[in-house]
Structure 1
Amino acid sequence: MTDTPALTRFLNDRLDDDEQIARAATQGEWVWSREFVTPPGYHHRTVGPLEPGDAAFIAHQHPARVLAEVDAKRRLVEASAVDCPPACGRRSEHSFSGSCALRSLGPAWEEDGARWVSLMEERDGKWVHVGRVPAPAVTSEWVLRLLALPYADHADYQDAWRP
């Protein structure tokens, strides 16, 4: 099981870095002409021409787009930090519903060549096993691992986080 709090801290730190860099850049839509990428109103200065694909990529990374991406990723990271009910026992298996797969699924296990989760019901204030269903393919831990993948070259990235 992944150290989800450490992975969450790592992602929030990288998002802070991305946000700081984007906010320090000139705001507004960036444009590119034949050989240059600049924010509107700035003069061209370059040491050499840009290839059209490179120029388009740089212009695509304008601050507003980066800040929107940072916001979306922060919402996913925040949603993943919601604790499962005590009956779960396997925090990494929960969904983004705010509880362990809509508060009806228990821990996952391998059996008969497949991954399963307990189908749970609350009875008299306790969660009881009432059957099994295939485990969901997407857990919040899996999404966090994918969100961290672009930062795999960072010194604080842990190989155990690879999806």
Structure 2
Amino acid sequence: MDDLVQWLGEQLDEEQREAEDALKKTTTTRRRIGGRWVEDVVQPPEWRRSAWSPARVLREIDADRRILDLYVTAVAERVALRTRMRALTDKELDEFGRLHAQESVLIETGRRLAPIVRLLALPYEDRPGYREEWRP
């Protein structure tokens, strides 16, 4: 899953760059209509013929990154807990039990988020580097 997380992050970076570049092509003009000033957002012609919106793409990327971060955080916290558990002595059984319970929650969180991360990668399956093993 580490490879998938890294690859998906790279795809999101590329999409973000493209959307930000597209937003730079959007201009705002002001004109006077009926005695008052009105602002118009002028988009390139190719956008007007499609439902594609760079602002929407950026919002989707932000949402995808947040989901990815939930997974990465759960995995990293589990690794950190496991390290703490290994350092405990036999006298610290209560602490071990508490950490083990936390680890169980993190394992379950990762297990539930892993298929979602695979689904997030699916729109990019036609890009170089996508592996069939990642398919949900």
- The TM-score normalised by the length of structure 2 is 0.60
CA–CA separation in structure 2 for the residues paired with 1:5 and 1:158? 13
Cα pair distance change 1:78/1:28, threshold 3 Å: farther
Q: How does 1:3-152 map to 2 (within 5 A)?
A: 4-25=1-22, 26-27=25-26, 40=42, 55=49, 58=50, 60-82=51-73, 83=76, 84=78, 85-86=81-82, 124-127=94-97, 139-152=112-125
1:56-114 CA-partner distances (Å, limit 9, x unpaired): xx2x2111001111111111111110222329xxxxxxxxxxxxxxxxxxxxxxxxxxx
Are 1:23 and 1:63, in contact at CA under 8 Å, matched by a contact in 2?
yes
How many matched pairs?
99
Per-residue Cα deviation, 1:119-161 (whole angstroms, up to 9, x for no partner): xxxx6112368xxxxx78x611111100001111111001111
Q: Which amino acid aligns with 1:22?
A: A
Cα deviation for residue 27 of structure 1 reads 3.6
Task: Please tell me whether Structure 1 or Structure 2 has the larger radius of gyration of its CA atoms.
Answer: 2
Relative contact order, higher structure (CA 8 A, sep 6+): 2
Separation in 2, partners of 1:65, 1:80: 23
CA 1:145 to 1:62, structure 2 compared with 1: closer, same or farther past 3 Å? Answer: same
Q: 1:158 aligns with which of 120, 131, 135?
A: 131
Which structure shows the higher strand fraction?
1
What are the ranges of 5 or more consecutive residues in structure 2 without an aligned counterpart?
29-40, 84-92, 102-107
Q: State the superposition RMSD in angstroms.
A: 3.1
Regions of 4+ moved over 6 Å:
none
Residue pair 1:28, 1:62 contacting (<8 A) in 2 also: no
Q: Evaluate the alpha carbon distance shift between residue 40 and residue 12 of structure 1 in structure 2; reply closer, same or farther with a 3 A threshold.
A: same
When the two structures are superposed, what TM-score results if normalisation uses the length of structure 1? Answer: 0.51
Write the letter of the residue equivalent to 2:94: D
Seq. identity, % = 30
